[in-house]
A and B are shown apart, each in its own frame.
Chain A
Amino acid sequence: MHVLEVLPPRLYPCLNSQKRAILRTLQISIHPYPSYEARKERGDDRTGLETNEVALQQLYDLISGTVNRGEGNSCLILGPRGSGKTRLVERCLLNIPNKPIILRLSGWTQHSDRLAMREIAHQLNQQTGTTIFVHPDDVPRNIDNDYPDRELNPFLDKSVSSMLVSSASLPLSSHLPTLISALPTLPRPTIVILDGFDLFSLHPRQSLLYCLLDTAQSCHSGAKSRGLAVVGITTRVDTVNLLEKRVKSRFSGRILRTAPPQDLEGWIEVAKATLMPRVLDENQEKSYNEEWKSLWNMAIEKFLSDRSVTKALNETFSITRDIRMLNKIMASLALHLAPTSPFPSVSQIKATVLSQRIRPRSPFLHTLSYPALCLLIASVHVDSTGHSTFTFEMLHECFYDQLRTSLSAPVQVNGGSIGMAFEYLVSVKLFTCIAPSTGVAKEFVKYHSVVAREDVKKAVDKTGQINLRKWFTKAQ
């Protein structure tokens, strides 16, 4: 069977829309929110990973318990990066009936409990129109006259109300217990999602966690208090040990684990699903004629069945199981499709893996300017004399000795250019400064070269300048 090498022009639009489709799929699967239906209507729940399904079920039970029966719950979702923790929560929240108040906190932004509280207050104001702990002078005014066409788009009211709460309307940190303990009294049950749960445990005295868990524990079902669920998300395995005793004792200890796809097949499935997306918007449909479809599917089948391709995927899989890595590889595969090479090829996936997964430390060494290369070699020389750190003057001296001894430098380097090369190497952090350079003249700042000796060797060989190589080999 033959795969045509260059694409007939009539099929260009197909190729482009194919690329766009792939990217779209990737983006969607990255974006937590719509991914669920996307996957649903793709029907590839087969790749939807068993452990996660279990965890989903458990989480669903827990939250619905809170929502329906007003329980106070707390749990921790634990799993390696890219194993779909966030997606899990989102999917769960999607099909929770009579939507609760959802407070989303992240340890990355709320560095302190105070910030966290402000955010809580803000989100409360946003979801329940009532403003809690709001300064009397800026209660939300009537929004209708400001935005008469509000009913045009359902997004507006939320955002408008979000805009109307100003930074002045924020509680003092002494209010923390009252604020938190007020949560169950809200009209609707509350679900608090703490992303980066371990970071919250670094806050002084873990007071936020304490209040949350305490409230969650102490709100009994059946009482007229609505439920409260605290869902922590983290990748750190020892997170529970980070909790202080009083906090830990109030944590239910329920830990749901998520896991990335377990086996290579799963990955390849994902890859295939990405490369042959079902979802296409309609103007792609137009250009998406059968001829192209057959060509494409044939090519993909061939591609995925290729041994080196599976090998490349396997390597990646055995290094990291982060699904996002696979996505990136797929994306850059799709990017490099061109009319000249319309279908993903083995060489492409190799290059892709190189550019996205195994980043070479300094890819451009051989393209460095001549003085820069000289400096690198000089640094190797200095290193071989037993000095791991060097100043510019040392390299310069070394370089000039070489210049004096062998009068065979192709271009004589004088004037500033070598100093400039040094600055360049520093600026791209091939030479990293080690000593604090205050009050030290530029040429005497101590540096350390991050380039490994063999990398220099490779680079020198690549440039194929004989005398450079000679000089390099002198360093033993």
Chain B
Amino acid sequence: MEDVSEAHYIGYEELVTDLSTLLTYPPPFIYINDPISPRTTSMIVDSIFEKFIEEFPGGSSSIRAAKVNAISCFSARLLYDSILNSLASWEAQWDDGCANWNIEDDGPRWNENFDGFIHGLHALCAYLQDEKARKKGKGKQKQKSTEYEGDDVRLIIAIERAERLKDNLPELLVPLTRLAELARIDLTVIFISDVQWEDIRPPLGASPDPFFIDVLPLTKETITNRICSKFSYTSDDLEPGPYHPSLKGLYSHFISVLCDVCFPFTNDPQELEYIAAARWPGFVQPVLDEHRRKVTSESENEMNEGDAGSTLHPPTEDVRMRLSRIFNSSLNSAMEELYPRLTNATEWASANQPKSDLLAKPPGEVMKRGTLGSSLDKDEGMKSLSRMSKFILVAAFIASTNPTKSDLRMFGRGLDEKKRKRRATKATGKTKGGPAKIPQRLVGPVQFPLDRLLAILGALLEENDVESRPPAPPEYTIPGEYTDMETGRIGIYSSIMKLTSMRLLHRMSHPDRIDGPPALKCGISYDVALLLAKQLDIPLNDLMWDPI
């Protein structure tokens, strides 16, 4: 257990030493900033607390630490409750109605407001002193220790994701930072966050500046041996698993290669660990297969008994070379798919599992990459939409991208000539003075009224849908009248609503506003629109005011 915690400390030694020395006589307010992986930091802070408390003279009765999360404590009451409960190391029981910590049942409530919270802290201190005094009553050299420690009890309150306090509980930010002087007890508040104190500091210097501890980002080497040292033997007796001790050497090689590939993209140790966890089982599988075959063959021919063969030996150098030759290509793809979480480690691992007994095969053939998760194949995506919905989406994209004035140019028809007026040769590039115009598709979609959408939709249908739709009933004589009829139907509206509920369209105007048409906004990206247009064979680029 000890070495594991050591493994956790690798790369964070400075934080550990600083914090644990600081906690002997802590300043009232500490701010720990880890821009890379605050999650790791808070884990480490936890273990520091444990070690520190058990080593502390007087033990847990004279010092208590609590770590709460500013996201899960989204209301003041939750914050108070969870701080007090965990300071008192109190676990709410269902059977007594999840009562909070208190001196006695039907005691006062601590979670009403900040004053109540402070009273709670006082009560807790008194309670702890009382308990400690009882302890000392039992212990022999009582007065000695009294004059040693003094009778005060020290409380440590750590709040992680503290940047969220600014949004969730802004009114508590100042009191928390001044908690020590407000409560007038020996107490320290620690903020852990990945943003800088300057970003959440309340205005007018209302709260004192903290004592800063900055966690520096780890170097590649540190991360490498941090991950390597976490290599732990998961024990299953019948079969040597991928985390067999004698594979440690191979593992460290693997990790260093992996870090070489991935470090330029992320220096978050946890992410690299994640990718490693996804890739490693596939990486060692050939070795394990090899071993298994060896064992089985030995068990067949009985001449040498004794488990000499059945123990897994660390693989040889050239095996390592072959493995890395086979798998290095896949590391990059693992990075590309796992870091953005296009798929998760488990699925990726199973998808990119190498063929069994790879080492037995001639070295010529390499494994082929597994197929990605379904999230990548694009053209499958919009299949499920009905034809009309696709038209609506394309129309919405055009409406969101083209300036309104351009509609007449793009879609307007003269009575006589059938062909559309060409778009004017528009002045691209820098105009004198003023910044260059940025194409709309980069700035993002603009909102448009429903009527405009319907108009564009009508134009599109008239252009591209006449052939494939069921023939118009005879009573429609004027060109475009039938299309006009179609775009007025309930079905169109309902499918627009449906697309909105799918968030493929965004409704910008308030739902219960009845005067004027509702304002919408396109929710699909350019390439999705392009895809749809292709399916409907609409020449999208001709219809865009500034084509790509």
A160 close to chain B: CB less than 8 A: yes
- Interface of chain A residues 408 through 441 with chain B (CB within 8 A): 410-411, 413-417, 419-421, 427-429, 439-441
Interface pick from B283-291, B332-340, B414-422? B332-340
- A282 CB, min distance to chain B CBs, angstroms: 7
A19-38 CB mask vs B (1 if < 8 Å, else 0) is 11001101110111100000
> Which of A28, A363, A397 is in CB contact (< 8 Å) with B442?
A397
Q: Which of B206-214, B300-308, B323-331 contacts A (4 or more CB under 8 A)?
A: B206-214
- The CA-CA distance from A11 to B266 in the complex, in Å, is 42
Task: Known A159-B122, A167-B116, A393-B442; judge A106-B182 contact (CB<8 A).
Answer: yes
Which chain A residues border B181 with CB–CB below 8 Å?
Answer: 32, 86
Per-residue CB contact flags for chain A residues 102-146 toward chain B (1 = under 8 Å, else 0) read 001010111100010011001000000000000000000000001
Q: Would you call B508 and A23 a contact (CB within 8 A)? A: no
Tell yes or no: B405 within 8 A of A by CB.
no
Q: Does A385 contact B (CB under 8 A)?
A: yes
Chain A contacts of B373 at CB under 8 A? Answer: none
A162 interfacial contact with B, CB 8 Å = yes
CB-CB contacts of B21-41 with A at 8 A, as 1s and 0s?
110111110000001100000
Asked if B130 and A428 sit within 8 Å, CB to CB, the answer is: no
Q: Is the CB of B267 within 8 A of A367?
A: yes
In the complex, A339→B444 CA distance in Å?
Answer: 58
A349 within 8 A of B: no
A163 and B103: CB pair below 8 A? yes
Which residues of chain B are within 8 angstroms of A294 by Cβ–Cβ distance?
Answer: none
Residue A391 interfacial (CB < 8 Å):
yes
**Contact status of A444 and B25, CB under 8 A, knowing A119-B115, A370-B265:** no
Residue pairs across A and B with CB atoms within 8 Å: the count is 208
Q: Are B211 and A332 in contact (CB under 8 A)?
A: yes
Minimal beta-carbon separation of B444 from chain A (angstroms): 3
- Output the nearest chain A residue to B176 by Cβ-Cβ distance: A108
Please state if A159 and B115 are interface contacts (CB–CB under 8 Å).
Answer: no
Q: Which residues in A have their C-beta under 8 angstroms from that of B339?
A: 416-417, 420
> Which segment, of A70-78, A150-158, A204-212, A220-228, faces chain B?
A150-158
Instruction: Give the residue name and chain of the A residue nearest to B333 (CB).
Output: A415
Q: Are B340 and A109 in contact (CB under 8 A)?
A: no
Partner of B175, one of A108, A166, A421: A108
Name which residue of chain A comes closest to B336, CB basis: A415
Residues in A with CB closer than 8 Å to B180 are 31
A23 with B25: CB separation less than 8 A: yes
Checking B26, B122, B436 against A385 with a beta-carbon cut-off of 8 angstroms, the contacting residue is B436
Cα(A161)–Cα(B193), bound, Å = 38
- Whether the Cβ atoms of A369 and B265 lie closer than 8 Å is yes
Q: Is B481 positioned at the interface, with any CB of A under 8 Å from its CB?
A: no
- B445, A444: Cβ atoms under 8 Å? yes
Query: Is B521 an interface position by the 8 A CB rule?
Result: yes
Does B112 interact with chain A (Cβ within 8 Å)? yes
Closest chain B residue to A398 by CB distance? B442
Contact status of A364 and B129, CB under 8 A, knowing A109-B118, A146-B104: no
Residues of B near A369 (CB, < 8 A) are 264-267
User: Which range holds the interface residue count of chain B?
Assistant: 35 or more
- Which residues of chain B are within 8 angstroms of A457 by Cβ–Cβ distance? none
In the complex, whether B196 has a CB less than 8 A from a CB of chain A is yes
Q: Does B383 lie at the interface of the complex (its beta carbon under 8 Å from any beta carbon of A)?
A: no
A101 to chain B, nearest CB (A): 16
Per-residue 0/1 for B166-194: is the Cβ within 8 Å of any A Cβ (1 yes, 0 no)?
00000100110010111010100000001
Alpha-carbon separation in the docked complex, A267 to B508 (Å): 60
B126, B342, B435: the one contacting A155 at CB < 8 Å is B126
B430-448 Cβ-contact flags toward A at 8 Å (1 or 0):
0000111010011111000
Which listed residue, B108, B114, B521, touches A165 by the CB 8 Å rule? B108
Q: Please, which residues of chain A bring their CB within 8 A of the CB of B199?
A: 429
A side interface size, CB within 8 A:
85
Cβ–Cβ contact A20 & B24, under 8 A: yes
A459 on the B face (CB < 8 A): no
Of the candidates A23, A122, A361, A444, the one whose C-beta lies within 8 Å of that of B24 is A23
A324 to B113, CA, bound (A): 29
Tell me, yes or no, whether A81 is within 8 Å of chain B by CB: yes
Contacts of A118 in B (CB 8 A): 115
Q: Which residues of A contact B194 (CB under 8 A)?
A: 427-428
B192-225 Cβ-contact flags toward A at 8 Å (1 or 0) = 0011111100000110110110101100000000
CB–CB A109/B114 < 8 A: yes
Flag whether B523 is at the interface (Cβ < 8 A): yes
* Whole-angstrom CA separation of A419 from B27 in the bound complex: 40
Please, what's the 1-or-0 string for A56-76, where 1 marks a CB less than 8 Å from any CB in chain B?
Answer: 000000000000000000000
CB within 8 Å for A356 and B212 given contacts A335-B22, A386-B435: yes
Chain B hits for A473, CB < 8 A = none
Asked if residues B211 and A331 are in contact (CB atoms below 8 Å), the reply is: yes
Q: Quick check: B108 and A163 within 8 Å, CB to CB?
A: yes
Asked if residues B25 and A122 are in contact (CB atoms below 8 Å), the reply is: no
Chain B residues lying within 8 Å of A367, measured Cβ to Cβ, are 216-217, 267
CB of A355 closer than 8 Å to a CB of B: yes
Which residue among B118, B127, B186, B196 has the maximum number of chain A CB atoms within 10 Å of its CB? B196
Among B22, B104, B108: residue with most chain A CB under 10 A: B108
Query: What is the CB-to-nearest-CB distance from A190 to chain B, in angstroms, rounded to a whole number?
Result: 18
- Give chain B residues whose Cβ lies under 8 Å from the Cβ of A416: 336, 339-340, 342
The distance in angstroms between the C-alpha atoms of A315 and B25, with both chains bound, is: 27
Say whether B126 contacts A441, CB under 8 Å. Answer: no
A291 interface residue (CB < 8 Å to B): no
8 Å CB contact of A359 from B26, B212, B444: B212
A327-B27 contact, Cβ under 8 Å, with A162-B122, A167-B116: yes
B209 A325 Cβ-Cβ under 8 A: yes
Q: How far is the CA of A3 from the CA of B76 in the complex (A)?
A: 54
Contact B125 A331 (CB under 8 A): no
In the assembled complex, B517 has its CB within 8 A of some CB on chain A: no
Residues of A within 8 A of B508 (CB): 439
Q: How many angstroms between the C-alpha atoms of A385 and B133 in the bound complex?
A: 70
Verify B214–A355 contact, CB threshold 8 A: yes
Once the chains are docked, how many angstroms separate the CA of A27 from the CA of B27? 6
Q: Known A-B contacts: A369-B265, A428-B35. Give 19 more (CB < 8 A).
A: A108-B182, A108-B206, A119-B115, A152-B133, A281-B148, A332-B211, A355-B212, A359-B196, A359-B197, A369-B264, A369-B267, A386-B436, A394-B438, A394-B442, A416-B336, A417-B335, A419-B340, A427-B195, A428-B194
Closest 9 A/B residue pairs (Cβ): A416-B340, A444-B444, A159-B126, A386-B435, A415-B336, A23-B25, A166-B108, A27-B25, A370-B264
23 contacts between A and B (CB under 8 A): A31-B28, A32-B181, A111-B171, A146-B104, A155-B125, A156-B129, A160-B126, A162-B126, A163-B107, A167-B112, A281-B148, A324-B208, A328-B212, A364-B36, A369-B264, A391-B442, A394-B442, A415-B337, A416-B342, A417-B265, A429-B196, A441-B444, A441-B445
